[in-house]
Structures are given as C-alpha cells and as structure tokens.
C-alpha cells in the first residue's frame, strides 16, 4: 500500500511546510529518500568497504562508492509527466553528468525516475543502444552546453569522448509502489524482523536518511545496522512470534549435500528435500503435472495414499519444481496443533509474502496431531497468495480432514504408479546395486503390483528390504493404541490372511463376525472399514472385502500372527467366506496348523462341517488334500526340480499318482518305453515315497465327521463323494435300502445319483450288485430318462447304450458317450463291456454322418472305467504338482517363448545353410563344420527350452474347474514347437539317401511346422495383446516367415535333387531353389487352370479360378468355384464333372473342393478325395472298380477361409431362411417321434410316462414350425 500524507514522517512534513512546491515537492523528496533507502539496503554489505553519499537535501542525490576508483552517481527525479530529452538540460541532468564525467571519466551515471521516456533519444539510455542519429542528437546538445554554459569553459574537455560518455549514462524506471515493496522485503530478509513491525524500521531509516542527506553525509552498512538494532530493542519489549522462536515452519531450499549418505531412500524410507536435491527419486511426470495443474485451480493439493506409495516424494518433487521456477518459496509446517497456534503462523506467512515477493508454498508431509489445525490456518490465509501441499494416509485424512470444506482444495489426488516408473525404479536400484540377487528382471515384480499400483510392495519385491515390514509394524502399533484398536487389528488379521490365501470375505458375514467379537464398538463399523480400506490396501465393494496385494498382506499377516495362532484366524474365516472358496481356504490348513494345535483345530472344524451341506464338507476335504500335496512337494522339491530341469516332469505326476488304476502298471510300462533315455526320471519315480493319505491331516479330521454318515437318509448333491471319503479312511458306511436307492435314482440328477450309486457299490459291492439284478428293468427305465437315452439293452456280458445325437452335439459325440457309460455303469456294474452308439438322422446322407457315429461308438471294458472320485483325486495331484512349475510372471512366459522362437530361427537358418553347402559340395569346408557345430548348440538350446517351458501363470484355484489362461492359444503354440522339435530330431534323415521313408518323415514334420507357424505367431500376439506388450514381434515374424519358407523350399529341393551319393553341383543355391519352387507352384496352378478352362468350355458354366492352393498341415486342397449346375440332373452332372477333372488324378492335390455359386455368391461346396478322380480315370480306361474303393464326396459349408483362394467369389454369412429352418426342424422332430415310438416301451409305466411327455413336446414343436411356414407362404 502506498504511503499517504498522514503517514509521512514528521521531519518531511516540516520540510514540506518550508518548500514552496508544497505537496508536489513532498512527493519528490519521499520518492528520492525511499529509493535511497532501498538502494542502500541492496548494495551495502557488512563485509565490504562500500558507502553511499547523499548529496544534499535539494537534490537528495546519491553517490555510491563501491571501492577506490569506482563511483556511481544517481540523480533521482519524481515527475508527473513522461521524460523528454529537453528535461535533461532543463533539470541540469546533462550538465551535472557532463561535469562529473570530465572530472572522473570512469564514473557511471544513473537517472532514476518514476516515468517512462517519451522519445527514442531518451529511451536509448535504458538499453545503451545508440544509433548515428541519436548520437548526433546528443552531440548537438553537448555542443550547445559547451558554447552557452559559463561553467563549461573551465571543464577539462581534453578527456571528453561522446560515445564513451553516452554509454556511461543509464535510465532506470521504478514506481513508488515497487520501491516500497522491495524495501519491505529487504528489511525483513536482511534483518530477520517480523511481520507488521517493518514499518517501524522504515520510519527510523527514513528519518536517518533525511538528516544525513541534509548534511550531505555518507552511509555505510554499519550505520543502517545501528538504526535497525536500536529499533529492535524497542520492538523486543513487545510480543515474540512463537512460529519463529519455536521453528514451527522451516524454509526449504533443496540444497545438495554430497557428503551425506542418502542411500536409505532406496530402501523405501520417506523422501526428504535432500533426496530431491540430489535427483534420487523417479520423475513421475504425469502425476507431478496433475498436482501442478491442480494447484493452478485450487489453493491446496491433497496427496492421499497408504504408507510407502510415494506421497512425500511427489510432494517434494512438485515443491522443487515451483521453487526452481522462482515463483514460490517453500516452507514445511511442523507444528500447528490447535487454533491458538494459527495466529503466529499467519503473521509469519504474511511477513514472508512481503519479504520475498514470492508465493509461499506450505507443505505438510503427513497429516498428524501436530498439524491438526491446518484447515484453520488455510482458512485464515484464503485471501492471501499462498498454496498448500498436504500428504496424508487415508486414515489420517478421516481424522484430520473433516473440516476441509473451509479450504479451496478440490478432490484429493489418489496415487498409482505406472510401468514406466516401475522400469525406472528398477534401473536406478540396479545401478546402485540395491537389487536382490534373485531378482532378474523388473517385470515379474511389476505384474504382482500392477493392478493395485502399490509402490512400496514393488520396491520390496525388487530389494527384499525391511522397510515395508517396519512401516507396517509402526502402523499396527499405532492402530492398536487407537479407540477400538484391538477390533481393527482383528479385522486386518482376517483380511490379510484371506488375501494371501486367495479368498474374499463377504461383508455381511464379516459384520456379523465383528459383532460377535465386540458387540459394542465405540466406532461406527462403516466408518471403521472405510478408515482401513485405503491405508491397508483393501478393496471393498457391495458384497466383498479383500486385500489388494499379497505382499503387503503377507507381511501384515506375519506381524498380526506373531502371538495369535493361524488356527484362530482360519476357524474365523470359515464363517465369513463364500462356500465356493472353502476349497481354496482349506489348502492353507496343512501348511499353517502346527502339531500342538491340530486336535483343537480339527475338532472346531468338524463342529462347523457337521452343520453345513455335504458340498461344503467335500470342498474342504479336497482342499486339504490339495494342501497335503503341496506339503509333499515342498518336502521333496529337490527331486521334482531335478526332473523338471531334465525336461521329463510331465511324466512324473503320472508315474507317482496316489490312486492309480488297480491293474495299472503305468510306471513300469513307461520305464520300459523310456529305458535309458530317461533313467533319471525312472529313478526319481521309484525313490519318491508314496503319499499315504490316511497319514495326513485328513486322517485327523475324518473320524470327527462320523455324524455326517446319516446323510444317506436325505442325500444332497455331494453325498456320494462324502461317502467315498469315509470309505477311503475305512469308516463304515450304512447300506441304504433298495427303496432308498431307487429313490436316489428317480429323484436326483444323473450325476449326483451316479456318484451316490458308485459310493454304495464301493462300500457294499455284493449287496449293490444284488440290488441291480433285482431291479434291472426299472433301473434301465429310469436310466433312459436320466441320460436321455432311447435304448439300454443287456447283451450277455455287455450292455448296449443307444442315444439320439443331433448335429448341434456332433462335435461332442465322444463326451456324450462317455457320460452315459459312466452313469449306466454306476447303477449297473454287472457287465464286462459298456457299448455306446449314436442314433442320427442320415442327413444329407449316411456317408456324411458316419464319421460322427464312429466317434460316438465306444466299447469300454468295466475294468477301464475309473470312478469320478478317483479321477478327481488324481487330477488334483496332477494339477497341484503342475502348478508348481508355471511361469512366475507374464514377462517370463513371453520371454521363454521369445527365446524358443529365436533358438528355432537360428536352427532353421543353420539347417538351411548346411543343406545349401551340401548342394554346393562344400561339406569339407570350415564353414560347413562351423554350421554343424552351431546347429548342435542351437538345437540343444531349443530342445532343452522346449522340454522345460513353463505354462502361463495361474492366479486362481477353485474346486469346480481347472482355470488355465489362454489354454487354446498355448495349445496352438505347442503344436508348432512339437512339430519343429520332431523336425530337428529327424533333420539328419534328409541326408539318408537310401531310406526315402525317413526323408519323407522329416519333410512331413517340416510341413507341419510351416502350417502351425502363422497360428503360433497369431496366438502369441493375441496373448500379448490381452496382457502386456513386453516384446515387439513384427521383425521376428518377418524373419521367421522368410527363413522357414526358405528351409522348406530348400529341403524339398534337396530331397528331390540328391537321389544318390553323386549329384550335380548347385552353385547359385538360393536362386536355383527359389526358381525351382516358383516354377513348381506355377506349374501346379497352370495345370489346374488348364483343366478348369477345359471344364468351363465343356460345361458352358462360369468357373472361378484359384490364385493359390490351400496348404493344410499334411494335405493340399485345390479349391475352385463354379456356377450351379442343373439340380434335376445332379447325379449325372457330378459324374460328368469327375470325368472332366480326372486328368488331375496324378496331381499332388489331396483334395479338390468345388464351390457352387449363384451369380458369384457361394451357396454350397463339395469336397472329394483325389482317389475319386483316380477311379474316374480307371472308368475311362475301361477298368472295373469296386464299391470299397469309392470314397464318396461330402458337402462342406462355405466359409471365409475356404474362399480365400477365390477373390472373385463372395460369401454372405448369415442364418438359414426362416422357412428352410422351420422345415428342417419339422423333419428332425418327426424323426425323433419315430425313434421314440420304436425304441421306448409303452408297457413299462416309467418309460410310457416319459414317451408321452416327449411326444407332447415334439407335437408342440411341429405345430410351432408349421405356423411359421404358413406365415411365410400364406394359408
């Protein structure tokens, strides 16, 4: 604020009364004195011999002496109009400067004024830029002074130089307001005075300068210091600012301290300004920019996250950015606990604003009790130019952010870091040698924290440091001291253990459990859970609560179970998790429960399981079994690992199954097959002790569940499996009555009933066989209904099962048959063989459906049918062991496949090179030997990697299904690697001249490799696109396509060219092979096109020529299109077609496919084997053919893949027309009616009732479809 008249010092008022100019002159003197004070505070230093001389009250000009021979002469002019050139002579400025210059040519001259110049001649003094015109202008002015001013005659003009003189003059424009603001800052900064007291010091200095100017005296730093100290003595008698005295705020300057060891930052400790100054932290550009943008809109930025997520780092990084921009001054607030402390801090900050002229940025690094009154402080400063950055944990924000409405702060900024930051952190930690020795790459750790974005967990995974555990220990100790602390720790104990176990807790069950634990908490449960949510990285939704990351949860669980046993938490969790997660939770039991806890724990668990459905109990039992397998694997891990490293692991679980088939000698059979090739595997399988399930934790639990045996009275969906568990532990199971068994059959679904029947047969075999014989007809009737089977017919020692199979289930024919066999055998275990046959509508012909019917046909010996219970036990054994060797990250999985592809590519290149050198007869050269040696090494790398390649990482286990991510994609990729592995193993067979079959086998596997190559590439890219793109494959794919194409062509050429030990030398191998291949492919197409041209001419129908041949894995398919022939003479037309195509009988096409079109649109297609053409050729030559030789053509449905060689043929993909579909459904329904009537017995009440219901249903279907047809064609 500008000083008004009433605030002027009394000395100036007296002077104003004496001066004739009155108020105008008073303003001038005030301006001159204030500038003099400002200049003195700017240039005078305690350690330097500098002084200012004030040249008299009339001019109050300043002479600044910086040292011997160094002078600055200031002329101060306050005016109401812009400065013009004539003012320089009117005010005597030019005369004064000229006189001083001639006396002291080294002196400098400064004109200070409050108004800007009005012409270019004056403006030139601002930047010392003088052109010829300006110099000439001032030269004329100086000459005028020299001729007219009497004093000029006595001046020493011999020292005069116009250019030098003009360059010694400087013009400074500064307003009164600027002078005052700068003076206030200088007083506060240089002499450490408090806000609201600087005016006292300014008044004192003003009076002192006024007196000194009147006496034309000099002023030094010591003079000013004396005045300040005098005033301080008076001020000291007043109130002391506690914010200064107690250092509640600290000025942060980001100074580098190279002598201090700050490496602890990389152990996860909180960031300090010193870390920022040294550039240690990651630059999180997006988040930092978001905070900077936030501060442009709001006064306060709240950075909110749980401990160790980089809050402090971001706060200080943003602060340094603003500090470096010279726009803000940074202060850290240490103390502001109550409203009483706010006043002193406000005074301090207001002083800081005046002192620096910069915007104060106050950072509170971690809200706490010490800064609880921050909202009051921010509210009091709301009209001031000030910003706040506050870092806080979620729980502290709930405690100390309740009055944030007083502050203009917007939404809190929640943190999550990115893969770019993750990579940088890894790089920086590695450079500083902070990475844990087992940490090979950053991607594995990043994947574990990606979804939750937890920074400290990531650092822990990289370094295995102790900071995470230390922070959690501190947090839990503080949490335990809070209100309801014990209850909060109880909740965290359950959630953290559930997280590492892979299960989620149901919120409503958790609330019930909390109420049982503490019926009257002082804190609202909703607020309590909300407080814990983000600070401890929990996730709440409408139904579940779970931990966000197992790393944090593992440390938290370890801390919270130091004195509380896991058995307590496990029992509690059984009450709060979903039933479908009991399997997963139970896996932990054998791994966590200590020996001295077992009796109490299993009794408590049994008490719970007796009261729940059998499905829950069965899930727990299978989960316990899973956990015991893990414990078994841990005990014998070295053996399993060694077999895996040998590449034979997939066979080991098969050879060591705890429940093998009674008559199986699989281990001995595999040993005979493998012999010396896998001696280590055979030895390991024999050395591993069997897993005796009765001696595991299950043996302690099962006797306690005997009450559950009564479930046979009212069996539920898993009663059969539970009975099998009792039998497995030799616990007697009562025999149900025949009436009960028939009730199971009629009332339960087929799978549940079969499991129960199987269990009763296992526990009471003789009695159950008698039951089956006694009620054979009734059982068969019910089995027909339960399995949707029309015929179940005993035939001596076998039973024949025949069922309807529609085209919709054609691809599931095998499963449909096996399921029926298992159910029938469970209820009728009387037969040696169980045979199935499919009943199918012969449409479009019997030949077409024969393959499907063959797939449906099964004849399974009774001894080969393994119970579903045993299958499941063995499947869990297999899966559990297999999952110990999945990839530990998506990155590792991708990398092993990239490595495998690179090794294969090197093998391809070297194999091709070896064949080319052979063709050039250079096999004796060193180049050839080097290629052979390189191939041996590359092959070994490929084969070893292929044998030990790990499956895609699995993150979830359930009792109901085997979750294998990207199962189909990986299967296609494995097709490629198997084919290429076979080729490598058979590669040397290409050089065996006298064994064409061996050569052919190598070429077949190479062809398979080529077929699966693009599928492998596509499927790998699909996995990458749906996970993370760690590797760019475009270049690799192009290299693969070129190299594999080259080796296939070279191998085929080699096999054809090298037929004996002496063969013609091929010099330009690559060109020759390429030309030969292209000539051969062009020849194939040329011959085909000639035949098709002839066909078009003979038939008068348009024929669509292919642009290439479809090459399948092992077969070739020549596809061409043709406008549809006269359907009335289809048979004779087909014969005519085959005769015209018979010239292709000797071609290398395995199949020919004709696509029938209407106006170039594909409508149908017919595919036939080349052998038909050979038969047609025989017919033309008059030779006899037999029916057995005829392999009928079969129709195929056109699709985009089939039509790829036919660019002139289009394809309309869609559904059948409504009327056609209706007719088809009527035909199928009528066929079903006929089959049901002919195969079901109307004399048997159960079958008759089912028959009637089926006929009613089919009639409704026929009527419905007839209505559709009537609507289409009208009545």
Label residue 960 by pLDDT band (50, 70, 90): very low
Q: Does a structural domain hold residue 471? A: no
Residues 706 and 752 in one domain: no
**Domain, as residue range, for 501:** 486-576
For the purposes of burial, counting CB atoms within 10 Å of the CB of 710, is it exposed (0-12), middle (13-18) or buried (19 or more)? Answer: exposed
Given a cut of 70, whether residue 1045 has pLDDT beyond it is yes
Q: Does a structural domain hold residue 670? A: no
pLDDT digits (tens, 9 = 90+) for 264-297: 565 556 678 888 888 877 778 888 999 999 999 9
Residues 833 and 705 in one domain: no
For the purposes of burial, counting CB atoms within 10 Å of the CB of 387, is it exposed (0-12), middle (13-18) or buried (19 or more)? Answer: buried
Q: How far apart are CA 26 and CA 19, in angstroms?
A: 8
Share of the chain residues as helix, strand and coil, in percent rounded to the nearest 5: 60, 10, 30
Beta bridge partners of 77: 113
675 φ, ψ to 5°? Answer: 50, -125
Total domain count, the chain: 9
Q: Who has greater pLDDT, 992 or 671?
A: 992
Six token digits for residue 1225:
């459904």
CATH of the domain at 96: 3.40.1350
Assess contact for 1199 and 1165: CB atoms under 8 A: no
Q: Closest Cα partner for 318 from 308, 304, 328? A: 328
Of 86-90, 104-108, 1218-1222, the range with the lowest mean pLDDT is 1218-1222
Residues 740 and 710 in one domain: no
Domain end marker among 835, 855, 878:
878
Q: How far apart are CA 950 and CA 890, in angstroms?
A: 11
Q: Give whole-number Cα distances, 896 to 719, 892, 893, 948, 954, in Å.
A: 45, 6, 5, 9, 16
Q: Does a structural domain hold residue 1212? A: no
pLDDT digits (tens, 9 = 90+) for 1140-1175: 888 888 888 888 999 988 889 888 788 888 888 877
Q: Closest Cα partner for 743 from 765, 713, 772? A: 713
Assess contact for 1106 and 1085: CB atoms under 8 A: yes
Residues 539 and 620 in one domain: no
Six token digits for residue 215:
């006496």
Average the pLDDT over 1086-1115 and give the result: 90
Domain end marker among 415, 434, 453:
415
Q: What pLDDT is attached to residue 942?
A: 96
Residues 378 and 263 in one domain: yes
Q: Give me the residue label for tokens 């943190």.
A: 415
Residues contacting residue 880 through CB under 8 Å, at least 6 positions apart: 626, 629, 630, 633
Q: How far apart are CA 567 and CA 590, in angstroms?
A: 11
Counting residues of the chain whose pLDDT is more than 90, the rounded percentage is 33
pLDDT digits (tens, 9 = 90+) for 366-385: 888 889 999 999 989 988 89
Q: How far apart are CA 944 and CA 984, in angstroms?
A: 12
User: Chain-wide mean pLDDT for the chain?
Assistant: 83
Number of H helices, E strands in the chain: 53, 25
Q: What pLDDT is attached to residue 435?
A: 80
Given a cut of 90, whether residue 937 has pLDDT beyond it is yes
Residues 138 and 192 in one domain: yes
Residues 516 and 624 in one domain: no
Average the pLDDT over 798-816 and give the result: 88
Q: Does a structural domain hold residue 647? A: no
Q: How far apart are CA 430 and CA 439, in angstroms?
A: 10
Average the pLDDT over 122-146 and give the result: 85
Half-sphere exposure (Cβ direction) of 887: Cα atoms closer than 13 Å: 22
Q: Is the dihedral of CA 501, 505, 509, 515 positive or negative?
A: positive
Q: Give me the residue label for tokens 């490929």.
A: 942
Label residue 860 by pLDDT band (50, 70, 90): very high
Beta bridge partners of 73: 63, 109
Residues 839 and 979 in one domain: no
Residues 161 and 35 in one domain: yes
Residues contacting residue 1049 through CB under 8 Å, at least 6 positions apart: 1073, 1074, 1076, 1077
Domain end marker among 1067, 1085, 1113:
1067
Assess contact for 894 and 447: CB atoms under 8 A: no
Q: Does a structural domain hold residue 480? A: no
pLDDT digits (tens, 9 = 90+) for 685-719: 889 999 999 999 999 999 999 876 766 667 777 88
Q: Is residue 844 reached through a cis peptide bond, with omega within 30 degrees of 0 on the bond before it? A: yes
Q: Give whole-number Cα distances, 57 to 44, 61, 216, 855, 1207, in Å.
A: 21, 8, 8, 119, 103
Q: What pLDDT is attached to residue 8?
A: 39
Pairing of strands 798-804, 791-795: antiparallel
- Alpha-carbon dihedral angle through residues 1215, 1217, 1218, 1221, given to the nearest 10 degrees: -70
pLDDT digits (tens, 9 = 90+) for 719-728: 899 999 999 9
Q: How far apart are CA 542 and CA 537, in angstroms?
A: 17
Pairing of strands 1116-1123, 1110-1111: antiparallel
CATH of the domain at 491: 1.10.10
* Residue 434: strand, helix, or coil: coil
Q: Does a structural domain hold residue 787? A: yes
pLDDT digits (tens, 9 = 90+) for 1237-1265: 989 888 888 999 999 999 999 999 999 88
Q: What is the DSSP letter of 44?
A: -
Label residue 123 by pLDDT band (50, 70, 90): confident
Residues contacting residue 98 through CB under 8 Å, at least 6 positions apart: 142, 145, 152, 155, 165
Q: Does a structural domain hold residue 1082? A: yes
Please list, residue by residue across 3-34, b when 16 or more beta carbons sit within 10 angstroms of its beta carbon and e when fewer do: eeeeebbeebeebbeebeeeeeebbbbbbbbb
Reported residue count of the chain is 1275
Beta bridge partners of 1153: 1119, 1167
* Residue 834: strand, helix, or coil: strand
Assess contact for 111 and 126: CB atoms under 8 A: no
Given a cut of 60, whether residue 1185 has pLDDT beyond it is no
Range with the largest mean pLDDT of 300-314, 431-445, 861-875 = 861-875
Q: Closest Cα partner for 577 from 631, 659, 502? A: 502
Assess contact for 262 and 278: CB atoms under 8 A: yes
* Residue 1152: strand, helix, or coil: strand
Residues 924 and 1029 in one domain: yes
Q: Who has greater pLDDT, 1014 or 1178?
A: 1014
pLDDT digits (tens, 9 = 90+) for 94-103: 888 888 888 8
Q: What pLDDT is attached to residue 1218?
A: 64
Residues 549 and 591 in one domain: no
Assess contact for 145 and 154: CB atoms under 8 A: no
Given a cut of 80, whether residue 1006 has pLDDT beyond it is yes
Q: Closest Cα partner for 319 from 360, 367, 375? A: 360
Q: What pLDDT is attached to residue 1215?
A: 47
Residue 1048, number of CB atoms within 10 A of its CB:
19
Q: Give whole-number Cα distances, 1139 to 645, 1173, 1177, 1184, 1195, in Å.
A: 59, 7, 7, 15, 19
pLDDT digits (tens, 9 = 90+) for 35-74: 888 888 887 876 666 777 776 434 445 555 555 556 778 8
CATH of the domain at 276: 3.40.50.300
Q: Give whole-number Cα distances, 500 to 494, 537, 841, 1027, in Å.
A: 10, 13, 54, 23
Q: Does a structural domain hold residue 1060? A: yes
Given a cut of 80, whether residue 79 has pLDDT beyond it is yes
Q: How far apart are CA 1088 and CA 1170, in angstroms?
A: 13
Six token digits for residue 1274:
């009208």
Residues 624 and 492 in one domain: no
């Amino acid at each position: 604020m500008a000083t008004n008249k009433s605030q002027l010092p009394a000395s100036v008022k007296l002077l104003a009364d004496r001066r004739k100019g009155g108020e105008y002159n008073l303003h001038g003197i005030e301006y001159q004195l204030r500038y003099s004070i400002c200049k003195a505070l700017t240039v005078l230093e305690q350690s330097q011999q500098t002084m200012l001389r004030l040249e008299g009250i009339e001019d109050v000009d300043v002479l600044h002496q910086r040292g011997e021979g160094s002078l600055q002469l200031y002329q101060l002019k306050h005016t109401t109009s812009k400065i013009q050139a004539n003012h320089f002579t009117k005010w005597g400025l030019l005369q004064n400067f000229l006189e001083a210059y001639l006396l002291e040519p080294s002196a400098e001259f400064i004109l200070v004024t409050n108004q800007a110049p009005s012409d270019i001649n004056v403006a030139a003094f601002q930047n010392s830029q003088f052109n010829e015109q300006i110099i000439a202008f001032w030269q004329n002015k100086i000459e005028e002074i020299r001729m007219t001013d009497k004093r000029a005659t006595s001046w020493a003009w011999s020292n005069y130089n116009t250019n030098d003189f003009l360059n010694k003059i400087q013009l400074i424009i500064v307003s009164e307001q600027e002078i005052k603001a700068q003076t206030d800052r200088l007083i506060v900064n240089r002499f450490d005075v408090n806000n609201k007291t600087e005016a006292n010091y300014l008044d004192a200095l003003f009076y002192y300068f006024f007196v000194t100017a009147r006496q034309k005296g000099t002023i030094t730093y010591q003079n000013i210091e004396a005045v300040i100290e005098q005033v301080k003595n008076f001020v000291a008698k007043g109130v002391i600012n506690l914010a200064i005295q107690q250092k509640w705020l600290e000025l942060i300057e980001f100074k580098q301290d190279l002598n201090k060891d700050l490496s602890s930052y990389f152990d996860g400790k909180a960031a300090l300004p010193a870390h920022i100054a040294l550039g240690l932290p990651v630059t999180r550009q997006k988040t930092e920019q978001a905070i900077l943008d936030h501060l442009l809109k709001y006064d306060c930025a709240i950075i909110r996250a749980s401990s160790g997520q980089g809050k402090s780092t971001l706060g200080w990084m943003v602060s340094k950015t603003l500090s470096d921009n010279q726009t803000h001054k940074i202060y850290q607030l240490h103390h502001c606990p109550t409203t009483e402390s706010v006043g002193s801090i406000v005074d301090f900050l207001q002083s800081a604003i005046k002192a620096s002229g910069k915007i104060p940025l106050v950072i509170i690094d971690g809200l706490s009790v010490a800064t609880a009154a921050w909202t009051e402080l921010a509210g009091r400063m709301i009209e001031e130019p000030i910003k706040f950055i506050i870092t806080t944990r979620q729980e502290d924000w709930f405690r100390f952010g309740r009055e944030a409405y007083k502050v203009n702060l917007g939404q809190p900024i929640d943190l999550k870091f990115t893969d770019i930051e993750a990579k940088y952190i890894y790089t920086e930690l590695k450079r500083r040698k902070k990475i844990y020795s087992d940490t090979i790459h950053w991607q594995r750790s990043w994947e574990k924290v990606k979804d939750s974005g937890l920074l400290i967990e990531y650092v822990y995974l990289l370094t295995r440091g102790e900071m995470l555990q230390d922070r959690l220990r501190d947090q839990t100790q503080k949490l335990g001291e809070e209100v309801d602390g014990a209850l909060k720790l109880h909740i965290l104990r359950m959630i953290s253990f559930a997280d590492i176990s892979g299960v989620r807790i149901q919120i409503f069950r958790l609330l019930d459990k909390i109420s049982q634990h503490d019926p009257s908490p002082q804190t609202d449960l909703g607020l309590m859970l909300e407080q814990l949510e983000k600070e401890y990285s929990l996730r709440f939704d409408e139904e579940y609560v779970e931990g966000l990351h197992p790393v944090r949860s593992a440390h938290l669980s370890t801390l919270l179970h130091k004195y509380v046993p896991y058995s307590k938490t496990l029992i509690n969790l059984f009450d709060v998790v979903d039933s479908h997660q009991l399997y997963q939770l139970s896996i932990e039991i054998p791994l966590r429960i200590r020996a001295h806890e077992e009796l109490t724990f299993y009794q408590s668990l049994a008490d719970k399981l007796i009261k729940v459905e059998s499905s829950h109990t069965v899930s727990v039992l299978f989960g316990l079994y899973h956990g015991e397998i893990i414990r078994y694997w841990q005990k014998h891990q070295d053996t399993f690992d060694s077999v895996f490293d040998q590449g034979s692991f997939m066979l080991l679980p098969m050879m060591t199954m705890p429940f093998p088939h009674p008559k199986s000698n699989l281990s001995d059979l595999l040993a005979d097959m493998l012999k010396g090739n896998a001696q280590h595997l055979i030895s390991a399988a024999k050395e591993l002790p069997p897993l005796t399930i009765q001696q595991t934790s299950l043996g302690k639990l099962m006797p306690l569940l005997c009450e559950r045996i009564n479930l046979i009275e009212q069996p539920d969906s898993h009663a059969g499996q539970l009975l099998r568990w009792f039998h497995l532990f030799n616990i007697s199971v009562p025999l149900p009555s025949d009436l009960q068994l028939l009730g199971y059959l009629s009332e339960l679904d087929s799978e549940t009933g079969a499991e129960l029947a199987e269990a009763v047969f296992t526990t009471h075999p003789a009695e159950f066989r008698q039951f089956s014989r006694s009620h054979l007809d009734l059982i068969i009737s019910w089995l027909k209904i339960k399995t949707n089977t029309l015929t179940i017919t005993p035939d001596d020692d076998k039973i024949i099962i025949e069922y309807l199979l529609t085209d919709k289930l054609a691809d599931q024919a095998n499963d449909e048959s096996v399921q029926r066999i298992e159910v029938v055998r469970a209820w009728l275990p009387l037969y040696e063989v169980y045979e199935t046959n499919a009943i199918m509508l012969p449409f479009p012909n019997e030949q077409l459906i024969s393959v499907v019917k063959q797939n449906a046909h099964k004849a399974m010996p009774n001894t080969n049918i393994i119970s579903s219970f045993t299958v499941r036990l063995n499947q869990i054994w297999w899966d559990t062991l297999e999952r110990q060797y999945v990839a530990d990250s998506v990155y590792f999985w991708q990398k092993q496949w990239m490595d495998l592809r690179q090794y294969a590519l090197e093998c391809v290149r070297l194999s091709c090179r070896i064949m080319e050198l052979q063709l050039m007869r250079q096999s004796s050269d060193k180049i050839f030997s080097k290629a052979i040696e390189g191939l041996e090494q590359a092959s070994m790398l490929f084969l070893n990697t292929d044998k030990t390649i790990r499956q895609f990482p699995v993150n979830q286990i359930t009792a109901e299904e085997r979750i294998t991510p990207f199962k189909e994609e990986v299967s296609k990729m494995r097709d490629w690697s198997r084919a290429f592995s076979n080729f490598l193993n058979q590669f040397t067979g290409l050089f065996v001249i006298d064994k064409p079959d061996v050569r052919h086998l190598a070429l077949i596997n190479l062809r398979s490799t080529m077929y699966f190559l693009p599928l492998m590439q596509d499927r790998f890219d699909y996995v990458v696109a749906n996970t993370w793109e760690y590797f760019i494959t475009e270049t690799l794919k192009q290299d693969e396509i070129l190299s594999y194409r080259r080796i296939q062509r070279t191998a085929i050429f080699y096999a054809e060219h090298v037929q004996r030990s002496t063969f013609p030398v091929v010099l330009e191998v690559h060109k020759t092979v390429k030309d030969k291949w292209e000539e051969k492919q062009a020849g194939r197409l040329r011959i085909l096109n000639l035949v098709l041209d002839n066909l078009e001419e003979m038939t008068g129908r348009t024929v669509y020529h292919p642009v290439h041949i479809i090459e399948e894995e092992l077969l070739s398919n020549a596809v061409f299109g043709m406008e549809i022939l006269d359907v009335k003479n289809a048979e004779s037309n087909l014969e005519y077609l085959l005769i015209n195509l018979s010239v292709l009988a000797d071609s290398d096409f395995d199949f020919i496919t004709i696509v029938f079109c209407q106006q170039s649109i594909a409508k149908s297609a017919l595919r036939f084997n080349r052998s038909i053409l050979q038969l047609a050729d025989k017919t033309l030559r008059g030779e006899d053919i037999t029916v057995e030789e005829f392999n009928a053509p079969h129709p195929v449905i056109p699709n985009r893949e089939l039509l790829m060689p036919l660019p002139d043929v289009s394809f309309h993909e869609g559904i059948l027309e409504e009327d056609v579909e209706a007719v088809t459904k009527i035909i199928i329904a009528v066929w079903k009616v006929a089959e049901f009537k002919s195969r079901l017995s109307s004399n048997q009440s159960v079958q008759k009732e089912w028959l009637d219901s089926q006929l009613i249903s089919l009639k409704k279907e026929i009527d419905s479809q007839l209505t559709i047809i009537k609507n289409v064609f009208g009545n």
